[in-house]
Structure 1
Amino acid sequence: MFSVFCVTKGAFMRYLYERREKMDFEATYAACFHKVFRFALSMAGNANEAEEVAQETFFRAMKSISTLKSDAAVDAWLFRIARNVYISRLRKRKRELPEEHMDTLPDDHSIEQQLEDRDQAARILQALHRLPEPYKEIFTLRVYGDIPYRQIAALFDKGESWARVTYYRARMMLTETVEKEME
């Protein structure tokens, strides 16, 4: 049986507009998921937790996409949501998350080199997790998120020079901490 229904022009235009937003959101998801996941991983130190945070981030972003200003950087907006999701999850659990998460090293390293590299990476990650805020977050956004200083500054409602100085100080604190541990 063939059925025909009538749709007003306004309803059809609304449908097309909503469909466009959905397609844009899907493209944003595909383009940004890995960055958000890496950012979440750097905070959580655990791939499973990072996956949960990233998924929740995009769920919340989809619900509140209308709050995104047209001139705002989508990456920075998503990182802010991810940060809030992670903090909410921490508060909810009220316990420390494991800090040990190591990526697999390339096969061309010797076993000794792999162990040495893994130990060094673990020391750096532990030192990063001990940094006070905002140093930890600025360093994470810059290194793991590959976010420009301008966008980092916007996340914190500060100037670009503040973001640069804070990143530099975080790097110096990390270097100092790791060097002390190696002595």
Structure 2
Amino acid sequence: MSALKEIEKAYTKHAKDVYRYLLSLSHDEDLAEELTQETFFRAMRTIDRYDGSCKLSVWLCQIAKHLWYQWLDKRSRWNQVELTEDVPCQESPEKATLLYMEKTALYQAIHTLPDPMRELVYLRLTGEFSFAEIGRILGKSENWARTTFYRAKQKIIEEMEAEK
């Protein structure tokens, strides 16, 4: 099978998963779409380096993750501020501050998790992937994803209680 046909087949089968993975990381539909296209472009250029030691979807998500990190690096160097016309918050400043502090504490607790566990939590919470999909993306089983997510929740709860 030619490399182009192989990439077309991979795109048909895995583009939605790669897009959802990138959306879970970026929370931006346009950026996720752009990075998905770039992922498959890079995959097409480097398909000869794919050795089959992992599932194709895992390899594609690794490319996507590296592209995401590159985008974050470029963005941090630009340090740009996006102008928006947001409607002012109707909540009191105290409530908004408390919500911000709780959200910050949650993400700090998630950040302390070891890498596969942290990535699983992000996929589940922000990407809204099913446990079966997460297992496929990370090259593990659905049961592994369920068990690891449960353990991650317990660690997050412990971390947040220790901060109080």
TM-score of the pair, normalised by structure 1 = 0.54
The structure whose Rg is larger is: 1
Higher relative contact order (CA 8 A, sep 6+): 2
2:141 matched to 1:141? no
**How big is each residue's C-alpha offset from its partner over 1:93-127, in whole Å with a ceiling of 9 and x where there is no partner?**
9xxxxxxxxxx898232211100000111111112
Give the share of equivalent positions with the same residue, in percent. 24
2:45 matched to 1:61? no
CA contact (8 A) 1:80 1:155 kept: no
CA contact (8 A) 1:105 1:114 kept: no
Which AA in structure 2 matches 1:146? E
The residue number in structure 2 matching 1:7 is none
Runs of at least 5 residues in structure 1 that lack an aligned partner in the other structure: 1-17, 42-46, 94-103
1:180 is displaced (CA, Å) by 1.1
**How big is each residue's C-alpha offset from its partner over 1:18-48, in whole Å with a ceiling of 9 and x where there is no partner?**
9xx7xx98xx68xx8676244236xxxxx8x
Are the structure 2 counterparts of residues 80 and 180 from structure 1 closer, same or farther at C-alpha, using a change threshold of 3 Å? Answer: same
State the secondary structure of the residue aligned to 1:134: helix
1:143 is displaced (CA, Å) by 0.7
The residue number in structure 2 matching 1:124 is 106
Alignment of 1:20-35 (within 5 A): none
CA contact (8 A) 2:131 2:145 kept: yes
In structure 1, what is the Cα distance between the partners aligned to 2:104 and 2:154?
18
Runs of at least 5 residues in structure 2 that lack an aligned partner in the other structure: 48-54, 75-85
Are the structure 2 counterparts of residues 159 and 134 from structure 1 closer, same or farther at C-alpha, using a change threshold of 3 Å? Answer: same
Are the structure 2 counterparts of residues 57 and 155 from structure 1 closer, same or farther at C-alpha, using a change threshold of 3 Å? Answer: same
1:79 is displaced (CA, Å) by 4.5
RMSD over aligned CA atoms reads 4.0
1:136 is displaced (CA, Å) by 0.2
Q: 1:113 aligns with which of 63, 73, 95?
A: 95
The residue number in structure 1 matching 2:25 is 39
**How big is each residue's C-alpha offset from its partner over 1:33-67, in whole Å with a ceiling of 9 and x where there is no partner?**
676244236xxxxx8xxx5x874443122443697
In structure 2, what is the Cα distance between the partners aligned to 1:35 and 1:169?
22
In structure 2, what is the Cα distance between the partners aligned to 1:35 and 1:134?
14
In structure 1, what is the Cα distance between the partners aligned to 2:111 and 2:23?
17
